[in-house]
Amino acid sequence: MWASASSARWPEPDSERTLGVAKPTNRYLVVDPAWAFANDRPVMLMYLSDEYGGAYLAADIKGKVLRRVPRGG
């Protein structure tokens, strides 16, 4: 399941900076009900991208960041 999240509230206000995508042109939110890297618990995957590439972070359902994968990482 995916949804455009251009106006969604991200778990971290500075996620663009910490993920290395200063001016994202696309934002997507993917809800995974059983993410393998979180012991099959539900997570939100927030993707940011621009013309040079993308990055994402994974957060639990309370908004706690579980993993960051910055651009080039």
- Kindly tell me if the per-residue pLDDT of 72 is higher than 90: no
Residue-wise pLDDT tens digits, 13-66: 567 788 999 889 999 999 999 999 999 999 999 999 999 999 999 999 888 999
- Residue 17 pLDDT: 80
Q: What is the 3-state secondary structure (H, E, C) of the chain?
A: CEEECCCCCCCCCCHHHHHCCCCCCEEEEEEEEEEHHHCCEEEEEEEEEECCEEEEEEEECCCCEEEEECCCC
- Residue 4 pLDDT: 46
- Residue 16 pLDDT: 76
